[in-house]
Amino acid sequence: MKKDQVTITDLARELNVSPSTVSRALNNSPFISVERKKVILELAKKMNYSPNQLALSLLNKRTKILGVVVPEITSYYFSTAINGIQDKVGSSGYKLMISQSNESFEEEIRLMEAMALVRVDGFLISPSSNTLNYDHFEKIKDSGFPLVIFDRDCVGLEADKVVVDDYSGAFQAVEYLIQTGCHRIAHITGSANLSTTQHRRKGYLDALQKNNYPILEDLMVIGDDSSSESGVACMQKLLDLEQIPDAVFCYNDAIAIGAMSVIRERGIEIPDQISLVGFDDEPYSSYFKPSLTSVWQPIYDLGLLSAKILLDNLEIEKDNPNYRFEVLKPELVIRESSRKIV
Amino acid sequence: MKKDQVTITDLARELNVSPSTVSRALNNSPFISVERKKVILELAKKMNYSPNQLALSLLNKRTKILGVVVPEITSYYFSTAINGIQDKVGSSGYKLMISQSNESFEEEIRLMEAMALVRVDGFLISPSSNTLNYDHFEKIKDSGFPLVIFDRDCVGLEADKVVVDDYSGAFQAVEYLIQTGCHRIAHITGSANLSTTQHRRKGYLDALQKNNYPILEDLMVIGDDSSSESGVACMQKLLDLEQIPDAVFCYNDAIAIGAMSVIRERGIEIPDQISLVGFDDEPYSSYFKPSLTSVWQPIYDLGLLSAKILLDNLEIEKDNPNYRFEVLKPELVIRESSRKIV
DNA sequence: TTTGTTTATGCAAACCTTTGCATGATACTA
DNA sequence: TAGTATCATGCAAAGGTTTGCATAAACAAA
């Protein structure tokens, strides 16, 4: 029972003028007499006219809709990024079409294709952990859609990208552990494919190396994913070692929380026996007991900046692509789960 | 540099036929010869044709886009509901336009108006805590948009609604506290305006009353909002009372977590001295120490069902509105933060 | 009066697709 | 052979809007 919307033609018929005249009145064209303009505007208001965006989009070839695909909406991390995107985009008149890929490569493609059909004006994508092939991104680019990749890097893909310096965050965290006297520092990783996983691991390894610490295979456990459950499983492995670690640097807070519960169960003291460090600095992390030392990420800003870049691209319609690669700095937040510098 | 999309006219020109013929070939019309159809379909595939959804939308007066407005995306609660919505909608070909109102009444209106302009096919709305006036909902309904209100009820508004039985959840929780021997049961509320706040409070009060417990004004603290910070502030008030409570039923987990940290700081034992119960059963709640007793809500199902109802409405285009009011049942999840039944 | 200028207006095309109706061609029936 | 049925195709309208171009009217200048 959708009521028909008032159109420009309705107004025209009512006043016995042509639709063009009405259009000119509504668009502040100079080629129209002031009196007529006044009459038309009044009627438009009275009849509650609003232009049909569909017709406009068809004409202008732009929808003022941006497509956003994230691996999952239900994570604090990505929803905060979306928050940043929304805040940036809000005043610009652009709307967001948001979807989650559930870390599925196929779903990511499917979603992007659907959005391309709707003719979104551009894409903001955080690739799934199973996205190892970038053909669909290339295709989107070839079709002329502006594309910004955020959070997770696609090495080799030429596109605007905004990421967090995971390497530096991890390096900081592990150096801090070293400075506080930890000797056997373990690492629980996230999904193997992710650029973030790789960078954090590299930061971990390099910090060890720089400080002449041996790299012990046993102490690096590869998680199935980035969940608390994976943290539980991995931490159990670590505690089953003959010689357990005295510090664990976790890929993220969820894993760290899982790890914390296992450590506690076994009656091991945090941080006296094991220092624990997470990544992401989720809101609850400060409320845990002991509160969690973690690497804070400017994830809201990540969304903000990604959206800004996309909007910039939409404005200038550049021909010679000069891709931006923005790296935001994370910060170590020291709390109770790690020992203090002596 | 958006490349022009291949249109039906391009195909027609290429093959020296009319666009109508091409259209018929693509739409499996019987009024076309098999050979020609084959040729056209082949060319369409070769030239990578895909129909312009904008033109179709203009023609069919439907966009296959649904508008979703939630108070905030960054909460586990609403992002999980969106998850449910997404999963329901996914296969149907509908896309989601998602926005957050940030608990602002004006923003909610603005967002809905913008979505109406884009001609979304329907709305899924969880009203902001400051939405006390429902004129904008009525207006949307009058314009013929199907509308489903979820999670937060708008009393007096005639519309399809899907909510959780907050009353029952609260009642269960408080009765459980009574059964486990608590005598001074406090309640920290959420934002005063919310239907959920009111129902949970009513559940709390009625459970006390039914068990002949006195209702003590001191023990009911009104939170500014539903955050952990508010939980901290409210719990401090409770612990500053001459006679502190021996149980606290919190509006949600965030508040409970804040409260827990204050209780711990003061050296009070949970649950021996104070039993603590939350609401929402957020994923981390089970990892807290002590793990949090909480009321689990079928929030994913809430999203799923809301979307289902909206899709149903879109199919049948009913004239005599027969609004549905669905109430989903929450469940008390007992963990360590509350005493056990003796 | 004629020509030129200014100003306001309408027409029609364009954006892309679908579909009712008309037309033309072919084949079949009487 | 004439008439009819069948089938494939194209035309044009519709959906709502903007805009280049043409036109009409009014008026000023020569």
Mean pLDDT within B146-152: 96
Interchain pair B97, A96: CB under 8 A: yes
Query: Do B141 and B171 belong to one domain?
Result: no
Residues B109 and B188 in one domain: no
Q: What is the structure's pLDDT at B120?
A: 96
**Residues B157 and B199 placed together within one structural domain of the fold:** no
Q: For the segment B163-206, what is each residue's pLDDT rounded down to a tens digit?
A: 999 999 999 999 999 999 999 999 999 999 999 999 999 999 99
Q: Which two tokens stand for residue B287?
A: 């990892």
pLDDT at B316 over 80: no
> Are residue A115 and residue A140 in the same domain, yes or no?
yes
Q: What CATH number does the domain containing B153 carry?
A: 3.40.50.2300
Task: Answer whether A97 sits within 8 Å of B99, measured CB to CB.
Answer: no
Q: pLDDT digit string (tens) for B253-265?
A: 999 999 999 999 9
Q: Which domain holds residue A209?
A: 166-297
Instruction: Tell me, yes or no, whether B227 and B320 share the same domain.
Output: no
Q: Strand C: which bases are under 7 Å from protein Cβ? A: 7-12, 14-20
CA gap A110, A131 in Å, rounded: 13
Q: Report which of B94, B86, B72, B14 is spatially closest to residue B46, judged by C-alpha positions.
A: B14
Could you tell me if A187 and A139 lie in one domain? no
A181 in contact with chain B, both atoms CB, cutoff 8 A: no
| Nearest-neighbour CA in chain B from A101: distance (Å) | 10
Beta strand A294-296 with B275-277 is unpaired
Task: For residue B278, give Cα distances in angstroms to A37, B235, B283.
Answer: 60, 13, 12
Q: Which nucleotide is nearest to B10 (CA to C1')?
A: C16
pLDDT of residue A174: 98
Residue B288 contacts A, CB cutoff 8 Å: yes
* CA–C1' gap, B31 and C25, in angstroms: 15
Q: Determine if strand C comes within 7 Å of the CB of B19.
A: yes
- Note whether A47 contacts B: Cβ–Cβ < 8 A: no
Which residues of chain A between 38 and 57 are close to nucleic strand C, CB under 7 A? Answer: 55
DSSP-derived letter for residue B280 is: B
Question: Which residues numbered 238-257 in A keep a CB inside 8 Å of some CB on B?
Answer: 257
pLDDT of amino acid B317 = 64
- The whole-number pLDDT of residue A319 equals 63
Residue B1 has pLDDT above 70, yes or no: no
Q: Quick check: is B118 in a domain?
A: yes
Same domain, A187 and A234: yes
Kindly compute the dihedral angle of the four CA atoms of residues A250, A256, A262, A268, in this order, to the nearest 10 degrees. Answer: 80
In angstroms, the separation between the Cα of residue A307 and the nearest Cα of chain B is 15
pLDDT digits (tens, 9 = 90+) for B272-305: 999 999 999 999 999 999 999 999 999 999 999 9
Is A171 within a domain? yes
- What is the mean pLDDT of the segment spanning B115-128? 96
Q: Which amino acid is at B147?
A: L
Give one DSSP letter per residue of A101-115, joined into a string.
-TT-HHHHHHHHHHH
Of B50, B58, B283, which has the smallest distance from its Cβ to A117's Cβ?
A: B50
pLDDT at B318: 63
Q: Are B236 and B218 within one domain?
A: yes
Q: How far apart are CA B271 and CA A223, in angstroms?
A: 34
The pair of structure tokens assigned to A324 is 């931006």
Q: Indicate whether A178 and A290 sit together in one domain.
A: yes
Phi–psi pair at A6, nearest 5 degrees:
-65, 130
The nucleotide minimizing the C1' distance to residue A59's CA is C15
Residues 274-293 of B with CB under 7 A from strand D: none
Q: Please tell me what DSSP assigns to residue A339.
A: P
State how many domains chain A has: 3
Q: Same domain for B172 and B290?
A: yes
Smallest Cα distance from B226 to chain A, Å: 14
User: What's the gap in Å between the CA of B188 and the closest CA on chain A?
Assistant: 18
State both tokens at B289: 């120490």
User: Residue B60 CA to nucleotide D20 C1', Å?
Assistant: 29
- Judging by beta carbons within 10 Å of its beta carbon (0-12, 13-18, 19+), is residue A2 exposed, middle or buried? middle
Tell me which residue in A1, A53, A79 faces B74 most closely, judged by beta carbons.
Answer: A79
Residue B38 lies in a domain: yes
Probe site for chain B from A1, A68, A124 (most B CB atoms < 10 A) = A1
In chain B, residues 14 through 33 whose Cβ sits under 7 angstroms from any atom of nucleic acid strand D: 16-21, 24, 30-33
In a domain, B74, yes or no: yes
Question: Which parts of chain A register pLDDT below 70?
Answer: 1-2, 317-320
Contact A117 B74 (CB under 8 A): no
What pLDDT does residue B248 have? 98
Candidates B2, B53, B82; nearest CB to A118 = B53
Distance CA A320, CA A182 (A): 51
Contact A74 B79 (CB under 8 A): yes
Residues of A in contact with B76 (CB under 8 A): 74, 76
Cα separations in angstroms, B196 against B100, B203, B311, B319: 19, 10, 25, 31
CB within 8 Å of A204: residues ≥ 6 apart: A170, A171, A174, A185, A187, A220, A249
What is the total residue count of chain A?
342
Say if B261 is an interface residue toward chain A (CB within 8 Å): yes
Q: Specify whether B14 is located in the same domain as B132.
A: no
Q: How far is the CA of A234 from the C1' of C15 (A)?
A: 57
Residue A342 lies in a domain: no
Where on strand D do bases come within 7 A of a protein Cβ?
7-12, 14-20
For B37-86, what is each residue's pLDDT tens digit? 999 999 999 999 999 999 999 999 999 999 999 999 999 999 999 999 99
Query: Using one digit for the tens of pLDDT, what is the confidence trace for A18-65?
Result: 999 999 999 988 888 888 999 999 999 999 999 999 999 999 999 999
In a domain, B340, yes or no: no
CA of B152 to C1' of C28 (A): 70
Beta strands in B63-183 (DSSP E): 65-70, 95-100, 122-125, 147-150, 160-164
Write down which residues 16-45 in A have CB closer than 7 A to strand D.
19-20, 23-24, 26-27
Give CA separation, B250 vs B50, B158, B219, B278, in Å: 53, 30, 12, 5
Q: What is the mean pLDDT of chain B?
A: 94
Q: Specify the CATH number for the domain of residue A21.
A: 1.10.260.40
Domain annotation covers residue B283? yes
Closest residue of chain B to A314, computed from CA coordinates: B1
Residue B342 lies in a domain: no
**Do A27 and A111 reside in the same domain of the chain?**
no
Interface of B with A in 74-133 (CB under 8 A): 74-76, 79-80, 82-83, 86, 95-100, 114-115, 117-119
pLDDT band, very low/low/confident/very high, at B4 (cuts 50, 70, 90): confident
Copy the structure tokens of residue B142.
């009058």
Query: Residue A103 — φ and ψ, nearest 5°?
Result: 60, 25
